[in-house]
A and B are shown apart, each in its own frame.
Chain A
Amino acid sequence: MTEALVEAVPGQGLGAAPLLKIRDLTVTFASRGRRPVRAVDGVSLDVAAGSTVGIVGESGSGKSVTSLAALGLLGKRGVQVTGSVEFDGEDLLNMAEDELRAVRGREIAMIFQDPMSSLNPVLTVGRQITEILERHRGLRGAAARERAAELLASVGIGDSVRRLRSFPHQLSGGMRQRVMIAMALACEPRLLIADEPTTALDVTISAQILELLRLLVKDTQTALVLITHDLGVVAGLCDQVHVMYSGRIVESAPRRPLFAAPQHPYTTGLLASVPRLDQPRGLPLLPIPGSPSDTLPWTDGCAFAPRCTRQVPACLGGPPALIGAAHLVRCVNPVPTP
C-alpha cells in the first residue's frame, strides 16, 4: 500500500512506546444481497500511556466501530476487520478469544452511552462488580465486597455498602453511569474507552461525570479514549483530538491548536454550526450544507467534498492523504491558519 507509506499517524511519537497502536484498521459490514458498507476505512492512531485522546465525529463516522473493532467486540458474522491493533506490543486482532477476554476487563475497560443496557437488570450492582473482581483479581467473599464498596465510594456514590444491594433500576441515570465507571475501574485498567459516556445524561449530571473521569485518569494514570460528537466535551478533557468523517480521520492535533486553528473544512464547519454560550447572541449559525449521508467514496476523492465550501477540482482527484507534523489534516485545500 503506497498510500499508507505517505500517511502520517495521528498521535505517533507522543510517548516512548504507544500503549495502543492501531494501523490501517478497516471494518466492512457485509450482509447478503446488499452492498458492503465500509464503516472504518484505514484508521491509524497511537494512544500514549496515561494520555487522554478524543475521537470526535457524527453518527456514521465510524468512531464507535473503530473502538469496538479494536477490542474484538464486533462479532464475526458479516464483519471483515483488517489492519492491526496492538496493545502494549500484543496483537489484539489475532489473539485467542480467552486471552482477549483476559485483556479486556483487566487491561482495557470500556463504558458505553446507555448504562441501563450495559448493566444486568436482574443482578445487584454489588454482584456485578464482585463478579469482575473474582474473575480478574481472584478476590472472594468479604474481600471482594469491601473492594466493591471502595470502588463505588471512589466514583462518588454515598452510602456505598448499602448501594451494593441495589438493582440497576433503583438507581438514577447518573448513578448508573457512575456504577459503570466503577466497574470499568475495578481492575485498574491501563486504558479506558468511553463511548459517549454523557450523551444520555442531563447537563448538570454530565458535568459531574466528566469531572469524575478527569480526576480518575489523573489520579490513576489511566489512558482515556473518549468518543463523542460534542466538541465542547473534548475541549476541556483531551490532550489529543482526532476528528473522523466517513470512516477516516480527517484532522488530528493537540487540543489547543485544533480549536485555535482548525484546518479541515469539516472541523471548522462543525465549530461554526454550534451556538456558543460565550459569544454574542446575534451571530448567525453557519450550517454545513447537505447531510452526513451525502458522501463520496474515499477512492474517488474526499468524502466531504459534496458538502464542502472550499471544494476545488483536486478534491475529486483520488483520496487525499493525512499529512502534517503535529497537526495533521486530510485535505488538499485546508483552511488557512491565521
Chain B
Amino acid sequence: MSLLEVRGLKVHFPIKKGILLERTVGAVRAVDGVDLTVERGRTLGVVGESGCGKSTLGRAILQLEPITDGSVVFDGQDLAKLKPAAMRGVRRRMQMIFQDPLASLDPRQSVSSVLSEPLRTHGQKGPYGPRVRELLDLVGLPATAANRYPHEFSGGQRQRVGIARAIALNPELVIADEPVSALDVSIQAQVVNLLEELQERLGLTYVVIAHDLAVVRHISDDVAVMYLGTVVEVASSDDLYAGPLHPYTIALLSAIPIPDPEVEDRRERVLLRGDLPSAAEPPSGCRFHTRCPFRQPTRCHDEVPELRVLDAVPGHQVACHWAEQIAAGAVQPVSADVTATESTTSLDEAKATAADQSR
C-alpha cells in the first residue's frame, strides 16, 4: 500500500467582496484536481513556478489548508474523515520542513526548547535532554548547540535545526517546502546530502517541493510538474529529465542555465511568452495553451487534457493532447518561441510598433 495517496485534491480560496455582507465572487483555484501517489521510503519532487500551487498542495496534504474537494489518504486512512484525536496521532507521523528557518523558528526559544516542544506536545515524558542530543547528532550539530538561540547560527545550521525538529517524533512522511532555496550555494549541497542521509538512516518518505529543477532531480525518485494548480507531468526522475513530454516541462528544463559555456552556447532554448495567468480565471481547455510554443488550433483551447500514460513510455504520465506528436517531432514549436521571444525586437522595430500604436 502506498504511504500517501492524493486523489482529485482541490483547494480553492474564496474571493470575497463587500464589508458587512461578504459575498463570494469567485475563487483562486490554487490546487485544482491533483492526483499523486508516494510509495514508502521514496521521494516525490514537486516542481513548478511561483503560483502553481505546489506549496498549497504540501500544506493541504498535512491538513494545514481547508480542502475544497478530493481526499488525502495517509497509510490507508482518509485524513478528512478522522476524528480530532485520531488526527493528532497521525500528525505525529507527518512533519514539515520550511523554507526559511529564521522565520519558522521562534527567536526567543533555545534549540533545546525547540526540539523538546514536539515531544512534550505529543505526550512524551521528560527528561528530553538525551533525545535532543541525539537529534543534534543526527543533523550534524554539536551538543553545545542545545543552549543556543536561532540568531547565533548560520543559515545552513538553522536549517539543520528545522530538520531536527521535523524528525523529532520519528515521522514517516516529511514534506520539505523549498528546503534549500534560502541558503547560499555552497551550503545547499550540505543540506541536500543531510536530507538524503537521514532518509537512508530513518527510512523517511519525502515530498520535496522546490522550484530548482536541478536540486529536485538530484534528490527525487519521481517528479511531478505543476502548472497553475494542476499536475501536467509525472515520471521517474531519470525519465522526466531525459525525455520530458509536456511542452511546459520542455520549456522549464531548457530555461535552466548550466554552468558550462560549451553547453550553454550550443543549447536551444524554448522560451515561453508572457506570464503565468491568474489562478482565479484559468484559461479554458489546456491551462498552458496561452503560453505553449506547441499549441495547435481549437483542441488545446477547447478540451481539457487528461493526465494519461503514453503507450510508448510506461509509467510516464502527461497531460497534453499532442504529447506523442511532439515527442515524434511531428508537431514543432512556433519558430518565434525558440531561442527568440517577442521580446527580441530590435530597437528600430520597436520604434515602428510604438509609432503605430500611438497613431
Specify the main secondary structure of chain B where it touches its partner.
helix
Find chain B residues with CB under 8 A from A146 CB.
354-355, 358
Number of A-B residue pairs, CB cutoff 8 Å, is 190
Say yes or no for B311: interface residue by CB 8 A criterion. Answer: no
Give complex CA distance A183, B348 in Å. Answer: 17
Q: A153-B345, A287-B193 are in contact. Are A203 and B256 (CB under 8 A)?
A: yes
Say yes or no for A79: interface residue by CB 8 A criterion. Answer: no
Interface size class of B (residues with CB under 8 A): 35 or more
Find chain B residues with CB under 8 A from A286 CB.
189
* Closest-CB distance, B208 to chain A (whole angstroms): 13
Contact with B along A142-182 (1 / 0, CB 8 A): 00011001111111101111100000000010110010000
Q: A211-B341, A281-B217 are in contact. Are A153 and B350 (CB under 8 A)?
A: yes
Q: B32-40, B98-106, B154-162: which one contacts chain A?
A: B154-162
Contact with A along B232-257 (1 / 0, CB 8 A): 00000110010000000001111111
Contact A202 B259 (CB under 8 A): no
Contact B258 A232 (CB under 8 A): yes
Contact A277 B186 (CB under 8 A): no
Within 8 A of A (CB), among B296-348: 339-347
Find chain A residues with CB under 8 A from B260 CB.
235, 259, 276, 278
Find chain B residues with CB under 8 A from A217 CB.
none
Contact A273 B186 (CB under 8 A): yes
Say yes or no for A68: interface residue by CB 8 A criterion. Answer: no
Q: A211-B344, A274-B185, A285-B193 are in contact. Are A149 and B275 (CB under 8 A)?
A: no
Find chain A residues with CB under 8 A from B156 CB.
291
Say yes or no for B30: interface residue by CB 8 A criterion. Answer: no
Within 8 A of B (CB), among A116-163: 145-146, 149-156, 158-162
* Closest-CB distance, B233 to chain A (whole angstroms): 15
Say yes or no for B218: interface residue by CB 8 A criterion. Answer: yes
Find chain A residues with CB under 8 A from B241 CB.
277, 281
Find chain A residues with CB under 8 A from B253 CB.
277
Q: A236-B265, A275-B218, A292-B186 are in contact. Are A219 and B341 (CB under 8 A)?
A: no
Find chain B residues with CB under 8 A from A274 CB.
185, 188-189, 214, 259
Which B-chain residue is minimally distant from A272 (CB atoms)? B189
Say yes or no for A93: interface residue by CB 8 A criterion. Answer: no
Say yes or no for A14: interface residue by CB 8 A criterion. Answer: no
Contact A235 B259 (CB under 8 A): yes
Q: A281-B217, A285-B192 are in contact. Are A276 and B258 (CB under 8 A)?
A: yes
Say yes or no for B19: interface residue by CB 8 A criterion. Answer: no
Contact of B211 among A151, A153, A156, A203 (CB under 8 A): A203
Say yes or no for A299: interface residue by CB 8 A criterion. Answer: no
Give complex CA distance A107, B67 in Å. Answer: 55
Contact B262 A276 (CB under 8 A): no
Q: A208-B272, A278-B258 are in contact. Are A161 and B154 (CB under 8 A)?
A: no
Find chain A residues with CB under 8 A from B256 CB.
203, 232, 277
Find chain A residues with CB under 8 A from B262 CB.
256, 259-260
Find chain B residues with CB under 8 A from A174 CB.
275
Contact A287 B187 (CB under 8 A): yes
Contact A259 B261 (CB under 8 A): yes
Say yes or no for B264: interface residue by CB 8 A criterion. Answer: yes
Find chain A residues with CB under 8 A from B346 CB.
154, 219
Which B-chain residue is minimally distant from A205 (CB atoms)? B275
Contact of B353 among A160, A178, A269, A293 (CB under 8 A): A160
Contact A206 B190 (CB under 8 A): no
Give complex CA distance A270, B213 in Å. Answer: 18
Say yes or no for A86: interface residue by CB 8 A criterion. Answer: no
Which B-chain residue is minimally distant from A284 (CB atoms)? B193
* Closest-CB distance, B158 to chain A (whole angstroms): 10
Contact B252 A204 (CB under 8 A): yes
Among B192, B217, B272, B275: residue with most chain A CB under 10 A:
B275
Contact of A293 among B49, B154, B189, B272 (CB under 8 A): B154
Give complex CA distance A292, B186 in Å. Answer: 8
Within 8 A of B (CB), among A205-221: 205-208, 210-212, 215, 219-220
Say yes or no for B351: interface residue by CB 8 A criterion. Answer: yes
Contact A153 B354 (CB under 8 A): yes
Give complex CA distance A288, B251 in Å. Answer: 31
Contact B257 A150 (CB under 8 A): no
Among B184, B237, B241, B263: residue with most chain A CB under 10 A:
B184
Contact A235 B214 (CB under 8 A): no
Find chain B residues with CB under 8 A from A212 CB.
343-344
Which A-chain residue is minimally distant from B51 (CB atoms)? A202
Q: A153-B350, A273-B188 are in contact. Are A235 and B258 (CB under 8 A)?
A: yes
Find chain A residues with CB under 8 A from B188 CB.
273-274, 287
Contact A270 B186 (CB under 8 A): yes
Contact with B along A254-281 (1 / 0, CB 8 A): 0110011000000001110111111001
Contact of A287 among B186, B276, B355 (CB under 8 A): B186
Give complex CA distance A90, B181 in Å. Answer: 41
Say yes or no for A233: interface residue by CB 8 A criterion. Answer: yes
Find chain A residues with CB under 8 A from B238 CB.
281
* Closest-CB distance, A311 to chain B (whole angstroms): 16
Find chain A residues with CB under 8 A from B275 CB.
172, 174-175, 205
Say yes or no for A63: interface residue by CB 8 A criterion. Answer: no
- Interchain residue pairs A-B with the least CB separation, the first 6: A156-B343, A232-B257, A287-B189, A236-B264, A207-B255, A202-B49
Q: A155-B343, A207-B269 given. 13 additional CB < 8 A pairs? A: A150-B351, A150-B355, A172-B276, A175-B275, A231-B185, A235-B259, A260-B261, A274-B185, A275-B218, A276-B260, A278-B263, A287-B187, A287-B190
Binding site for A on B (CB under 8 A): 49-50, 154-157, 184-190, 192-193, 211, 213-215, 217-218, 237-238, 241, 251-265, 267, 269, 271-272, 275-276, 339-347, 350-351, 353-355, 357-358
